Structure 1
Amino acid sequence: MISGHGDLVAVRITRAVNIGVAGVVSIWHFGYHGSKLITHWSDYQSQATTLASWTALAVIDVIGSVALLRRQSHAALARTLAVAILVVGSIGTAAGPPGGAIADSSWAWSSVGWLGVLVLLRRPIVELGVLLTANLGVTAAFLALDNAFDEPMIMRFVTVTCIAVGANVIVALAGRLMQEAAQQTTEIAEAEVESYAHKQAADEVHARRQERYEYLRGQVESVLRGLADGTLDPADPAVQRRCAIEAARLRRLFAENDDVPNPLLHELLTCVDIAERRQVEVDLSTLGDLPSIPIAIRRGLTETPLAVLATAVSSARVTVVSNRDEVIVSIVADAPPDAQITWTTCPALSTVRYREGANLWVETRWKRPSPLASLTTIP
C-alpha cells in the first residue's frame, strides 16, 4: 500500500512539473512573443512569413505540450520537433528587420530556446545543449551577415543570450531534478516498505517458533522427562500410546509450515502416516472443497483424530466433509476403552463422541462464524 502511494506521489510530481513547463512555454510564446508580434508588426520585412513562423511554432508548442503531458515524448518525436523548431525559428529571424536578430522586435530566437526546453525535457540534457548552441550560432550568423556585430552589439548579444540560455537551462534542470527527486523518494519508500515487510515476516516466524516451542514444552516435555528419569515404562501399552500421540503431534506441528494447497488434509495425512507405521489400516476420504481455515481451528479439528489414530489397534476410517461455511472431521477406530484420548477444547468447535463395543466414533465440527455474529450490540 505504501509503495503504491509512493508511485502515485512520483507520478503526481512528474505531472505537475510537466504542466508547469508546458504552461511557462505556452505563456512565453503565446503571450509575450505574441504581444511582440503585434506591437512590432510593421517592423518585419515579410509579415506573412513572420506570422507563418509564429503560427508553426505555436503548433509545435501544442504538439510538444500534448506529448509531454501524455508522457509520449519518444526520442524520434522529440528530435524531429527540435529540428523543426530550429528551422522555423531561423525563418522567423530572417523575416525580421535587418540586424534585428536580438532586437526588441525579435522573438523567434527566444522561442527556439523555450520550445526546445518543452520538447527535450525528458531527453538527456546534452540534446538541449546542442539545440541552444545551434540557435546561438544561427542568431550570430544573422547578425554577422547584417554587419551588426559592433562592440555594443557584442555586449548585448553576450548579455541577452546568457540570460536567455541561463533561464532555459535552469528551467530544464529544475524540472529534471524534481522528477529525479520524486523517483528517488519513491525508491526510498519502497526500500523502507520492503525492509519493514522483511522485519514483520521475521518477527512472525520468530513468534511462530516460540509458539511451537511452548507447545512442545507443554505436550512433549513431560513424556520425555518421564522416559528419562524412569517414571514412565516404555513397555507399558499406555505409555506407548502416549508416545504415539506425541509423535503424531510433532509430525502435525512440522506439517503446519508446509506450503500445500490443502493444509488440513496434509496435517491429517501426517497423523495417518503415524498410524500406518504401526500397521493400522487407515481409510481417508473427503467430500467437498475445503475453505481457508485458521491454523488454530486446524489444530482443533485434527487434535481428536490424531489421538484416536495414535491409539487405534488395527483399523480406522477418517472422513472429511466440507463446504464453504462448514468443515466436519469424523473418525471411527477400534481404540481401546482405556486409551487416554485428548478431546479438543477449542471453543469454536463442537465435538460428538460415541462408543459401540470396540469402536470409538468421534465427530468434530467447525462452522464459519456469521458476519452478523461479530457485531457488538451496544446496550
Structure 2
Amino acid sequence: MGTSGGGGGHERPLPSGNRASPVALAATPATSMSAPWPSVPFATGRPGYRDDLAGAASSRASAALERSTVRALAALRSAGLVLTPVYLAVWNSWYAHEAAAVAVVVAASAWGVLFVVVSLRHGVGVPLAAGTVVAAAAPAALSSVCLPPASAGDTGSWVMLAVFHAGLTAAWALPPRAFAAAETVLVVSVVVGGHDGRPQVFTAVTFTLVVPVLFALAVCRLRESTRRADDRLTSAMLGHRARVLVLALDRDRRERQRLLHDTVLNILTGIAWGGGDDLALARRRCAAGAAAVRHLLAHDHGPPAIGLDAALAAVVSSARERGLTVHLTGTAPLEDGQPADGQPADGQPADGHPADGYPAAGEEAGGPSAAVVAALAGATGEALANVERHAGTGEAWVCLERSPRRLTIRVSDRGAGFQPGRFAPDRLGVRQSVLARVRDAGGLATIDSAPGRGTTVTLTWPDHGANADPRPAAGGPAAGSSAGSASGSRAGAETTRETTAADLRHDYAAGLRVVIAALAIAWQVLMLLPLLVTLGRVHSAATAVGVWLVLAAATVTVASVVRRRPLSGPEAAGMTALAIGAVLASANVDDGDLLRVVNWPLIAVGLLVAFVTASRRAVESLAAMAVVVAAVVATVVVRGVTDPLTVSRLLSLAYGITGLQLIVAMMGPLLRRTADTTARAARAEAETAAGRDSDVMIRRERVRWLGTIRDDVLPTLDALADGTADPRDRRWRRQCARQAGAIRRMLVQGGAGSTPATLAADIEAVVAAAEGRGMTVEVQVAGEPANIPLELRAGLVDLLDRTLAVLPENRALLTLWSDAEGGSVFVSAAWPGQTEPPALTGAVQAIVDVDDGRLTVELRWDTRGPEGAGRRPADAE
C-alpha cells in the first residue's frame, strides 16, 4: 500500500496522537486471507471478487415471492381441476355421448395434476410454463370437439379456466418475448376454437389477452417491490455483519489485554519481584507464557476444550503451585486419566477467539460452552492471583454452585480487603480480567469487600441452553466498554432481527397492496369499454354510468389509502358493502345478459374484495369473499336463470372472484410469514461472514499489535523457560521489570492488546481486507477519533467496506479527519464518467459526488447526539 507524506513500509498501527500526520498502514500482502470481505450488490466488478454474502441476501425476498406465487398458481390450477367435474355434470347430457370430448378433458386434467405436483416440488420454470400453454391451447383450438356448441368460444367453460391459468403462468415464468408468443398462441387458439360462438368469443379473447397482461404488469411491480425488500435486507445484513465484526474485534482486543495481563505481565512481574527462586515453577510459568503469546500470534484454536470442573481444578492447581492454599468445593472429582491442566497456566482461556457461545463437541447439552468455561476459569484464576498479590494472606476458598438455570463461582479470602470501585488506573486485573471478562461471556461478576474484612468475588453465568440462544451477537453497550455484555449483544441482535423482519413484512404487504391498487384502477378504466358499448342494452343508461362513476371514485380513493396503509376494519366492511352493491346493480340488465360482459359490474367485484384480502386477516377476507360470491349466486337464483350456459358462466365468475382472492390471500400471508425466517437466515449468514472475516482481521491485527511482545518479550520467556537464563540473576530480573513496565504502560495507555474503541483500528482492519483483494489504499490521518458509539463505528466500517468494494480501480486515497465532536472519512478514486455512482445509505451520513472522473465519498459522523447530527464537524468551530 502506498504512503503519503512519509512513513516506511514496516507494519505499525495508526497513531493515537500526532494530529495531521499521515501514516502508512500495513503493507504486507494478505496472502493468508482465505476469502475477501463480501461486497454489496452494486460491486460489479473486480475480476475474481465474490460477493457471496450480499448475493445471498439479494435473492431472499425474491425467493419468498417465487415460493408464494408458485403455491398460488398451483392452488389456482387445483381449483380449476375441482370445477371441471362440476362443469361436466352441468353438461352431462352432451358429454354422455361424446367420448372424444371426455378424453380431451381427462388429458387436460392429467396435465393439470402434473402441473400442481411439479410446481410444488420444483417451482415453475420455462419448460413447465411452455407445456402449460400448449396443454391449454390444444383444447381451446379443439373447442368445437370438446365443448358443447353453446359453450364453444364462451368464457364459461373448463377450457377457458385452463387458458386463463396458462396465461397467468406464462406471465409469471416466461421472459417478455416468450410471454408475448404464448399469449399469441392462446388468443389464436381461442379464436380458432370459438369462431362460431360470436359475439361471446370476442369477450373470451379480451379476457385471454387482458388478464395475463395485467398480471404480468402486477408481477413486474411485485418483483420491483421484492427487489427493494432485498436491498433493505442486504443493507441490514451487511450492517449487522459490520456490527458483529466490530464487536468481534473489540472482544479480541480485550482478550489480548487479559492474556498479556494474566500471563506475561504477571510472570515478568513475579520474577522481577524475586519470585524465581523455585526454578522448576518459574520455568513452567515462562513456558506457559511463551505458549500463550504464540497462541495469540497464530490465532489457532488452542488446546482441546474441557469441562468447567477440570478447568477450575487446573486453575486451583496452578495457584497451589505458586504457594497459595486453595480450598475447592462443589466440583465433581476428575476421572482417572483426565488431565487437570487442560487450561493454559493461570487460567488462560483455551481459545482467544471471540466465542460463539455454543457447546463444543462432547460438552453436555445446555451446559456452558468452551468459551464460557474459559472466561469463568480465567476470571477465577485472576481472582486467586489477586489474593496472592494483594490480600496479605496465603489462603483462599473457591466454591462452585450449580442450579438448573445458573452457575455461580465464589472466590473468597479473609485478607486485607479493599474499597471496591476505587481501583488504581493501572489495576487492570480486576476491571478487565475479572469483571469485563465474565460480562463479555454473558455473565455477571461482582465484588464484595471492605478494608480489613476480606474479599469475595462472585461470578454468575445463567444457563442459556434451555431457553435462549447463547450466541454472543451484535448489540448492547458500546464496544470497548467493559460493560459490553453478551446478553446485551444478544438483545441488540434480536432487536435488529425483529426490526428487519418488521421492515420486510411491511415491504411485502405494501408492495402487494400497491399492485392491487394499480390493477383495480386499470380494470376500472377498461370497464369503460363495455359500459359505452352496452348502454343500449340496459334498463337505465344513467344508472349504468352512475354505477361506473361510483365504483371508479371508490377505487381511486381506496387505492390512495392502501398505498399508505392497510384498510381498517370499517373501511374493509365498506368495500365489502360496495362490492355487494355492484352485484345488486346487475339488475340493470336483461336476464339474457345477466352473466355476460354487458353486466360488467359483476366482473369488477373481484378486485374490490381484493382490497380487503390484501389488508385484513384471513378470516375477514374469507368472510368478505363468501358474502360477495353468495350475493352473485343469489342474484342468479332469484331470477331463475338456471340453463347450463348460465350456470357455466356462474362457475367461471366464481372461479375468477375466488381465484383472485386465493392468489392475494396466499401470497400476502406467505410473504409476511417468510419475513421472520428470512431475517433469521440473513442474520445467521451475516454472523457467519463476520466470523470468517474477523478470523482474518484478528490474525493480521494481532501480528501488528503484538510485534513488540514477539520481538522483545518472547525471547526472554523462551530463555527463562529453557534454562539458558536464570530468573534469580539480577540482570534478568531487571530486564523482566523493564519489560513488565513497558507492557503495563501499553495496556494502560492503549497500546498492544488494549481495548480502545477507536475508529482508527477498525479502519485499519477494513483497509487490510481491501489489500487482501489486491487494492492499494493510501491513508492519511488527521486527529485521533474519540471513542464513538458502536452503531457509528459499525456503520462506518460497513459503508467504508462497501465503498472500497465498488471502486473499479485498485487504488484509492483514504483520509480520516476527526476531533472530539465527530469527523469524516473521505475516499477518493478514479471513476468512469458514464457509470452511475453508488447509492450508499447506512448508520452514518454518506455524501457521494463524481467530478472530473473522480469519485469522492464522504462518511460523516457526529458524537454529540441527535442535535448535532448532520452537522459537519468543522462547522462547530
Instruction: Establish whether TM, by shorter chain, passes 0.5.
Output: yes
Correspondences of 1:272-283 after superposition (within 5 Å) = none
Equivalent position to 1:30, from 525, 534, 541: 525
Aligned length: 272
SS state of the match for residue 614, structure 2?
A: coil
Residues 22 and 184 of structure 1: CA distance in aligned 2, closer, same or farther (over 3 Å): farther
1:15 and 1:69 in contact (8 A); partners too: yes
Equivalent position to 1:85, from 559, 566, 578: 578
Q: What's the counterpart of residue 6 of structure 1?
A: 231
Correspondences of 1:350-365 after superposition (within 5 Å) = none
Identity of aligned residues (%): 19
Output the CA distance in 2 between the equivalents of 1:13 and 1:262. 39
SS state of the match for residue 107, structure 1?
A: helix
Q: What's the counterpart of residue 549 of structure 2?
A: 55
1:117 and 1:168 in contact (8 A); partners too: yes
The alpha-carbon deviation at position 186 of structure 1 amounts to: 6.5
Correspondences of 1:70-109 after superposition (within 5 Å) = 70=564, 72-76=565-569, 78-98=571-591, 100-109=593-602
Residues 215 and 14 of structure 1: CA distance in aligned 2, closer, same or farther (over 3 Å): farther
Residues 142 and 22 of structure 1: CA distance in aligned 2, closer, same or farther (over 3 Å): same
The alpha-carbon deviation at position 62 of structure 1 amounts to: 0.9
* Amino acid across the alignment from 1:36: P
* Amino acid across the alignment from 1:200: D
The alpha-carbon deviation at position 108 of structure 1 amounts to: 1.8
* Amino acid across the alignment from 1:218: D
The alpha-carbon deviation at position 176 of structure 1 amounts to: 6.4
Residues 243 and 84 of structure 1: CA distance in aligned 2, closer, same or farther (over 3 Å): same
Structure 2, unmatched stretches of 5+, are: 1-39, 41-53, 58-228, 235-503, 760-782, 788-816, 820-825, 827-877
Residues 227 and 186 of structure 1: CA distance in aligned 2, closer, same or farther (over 3 Å): closer
1:162 paired to 2:655: yes
Output the CA distance in 2 between the equivalents of 1:68 and 1:148. 38
1:6 and 1:186 in contact (8 A); partners too: no
2:539 and 2:588 in contact (8 A); partners too: yes
Q: Deviations over 1:284-331 (max 9, x none)?
A: xxxxxx82399xxxxxxxxxxxxxxxxxxxxxxxxxxxxx899xxxxx
The alpha-carbon deviation at position 207 of structure 1 amounts to: 4.1
Residues 261 and 193 of structure 1: CA distance in aligned 2, closer, same or farther (over 3 Å): closer
The alpha-carbon deviation at position 217 of structure 1 amounts to: 3.6
Output the CA distance in 2 between the equivalents of 1:73 and 1:134. 21
2:576 and 2:609 in contact (8 A); partners too: no
Q: Deviations over 1:36-94 (max 9, x none)?
A: 22222233334443333322221221122222333x11443652343232243134223
- Segment drifting more, 172-181 vs 99-108: 172-181
State the structure with more CA Rg.
1
* Amino acid across the alignment from 1:29: Q
TM-score computed with the length of structure 2 as normaliser: 0.27
Residues 76 and 24 of structure 1: CA distance in aligned 2, closer, same or farther (over 3 Å): same
Output the CA distance in 1 between the equivalents of 2:232 and 2:701. 33
SS state of the match for residue 599, structure 2?
A: coil
Residues 222 and 166 of structure 1: CA distance in aligned 2, closer, same or farther (over 3 Å): closer
1:101 and 1:109 in contact (8 A); partners too: no
1:45 paired to 2:270: no
Relative to its length, the structure with more helix (as a share) is: 1
1:247 paired to 2:472: no
Correspondences of 1:1-379 after superposition (within 5 Å) = 6-7=231-232, 18-31=513-526, 33-70=527-564, 72-76=565-569, 78-98=571-591, 100-170=593-663, 173=666, 188-209=681-702, 215-228=708-721, 229=723, 231-232=725-726, 234-236=728-730, 238-252=731-745, 254=747, 256=751, 257-259=753-755, 291-292=784-785
Q: Deviations over 1:228-269 (max 9, x none)?
A: 526456453x43332112112333455544545799xxxxxx
* Amino acid across the alignment from 2:698: V
Residues 166 and 182 of structure 1: CA distance in aligned 2, closer, same or farther (over 3 Å): same
RCO (CA 8 Å, sep 6+): is it higher in 1 or 2? 2
TM-score computed with the length of structure 1 as normaliser: 0.57
Output the CA distance in 2 between the equivalents of 1:93 and 1:223. 98
2:575 and 2:612 in contact (8 A); partners too: yes
Output the CA distance in 2 between the equivalents of 1:81 and 1:87. 10
Residues 154 and 13 of structure 1: CA distance in aligned 2, closer, same or farther (over 3 Å): closer
Residues 17 and 137 of structure 1: CA distance in aligned 2, closer, same or farther (over 3 Å): closer
Residues 152 and 42 of structure 1: CA distance in aligned 2, closer, same or farther (over 3 Å): same
Output the CA distance in 1 between the equivalents of 2:558 and 2:717. 79
Residues 194 and 96 of structure 1: CA distance in aligned 2, closer, same or farther (over 3 Å): farther
Output the CA distance in 1 between the equivalents of 2:513 and 2:634. 33
Output the CA distance in 1 between the equivalents of 2:709 and 2:616. 63
Residues 56 and 325 of structure 1: CA distance in aligned 2, closer, same or farther (over 3 Å): closer
Residues 125 and 39 of structure 1: CA distance in aligned 2, closer, same or farther (over 3 Å): farther
2:539 and 2:590 in contact (8 A); partners too: yes
1:82 and 1:120 in contact (8 A); partners too: no
SS state of the match for residue 292, structure 1?
A: coil
Q: Deviations over 1:124-154 (max 9, x none)?
A: 4454333222112111112222222344432
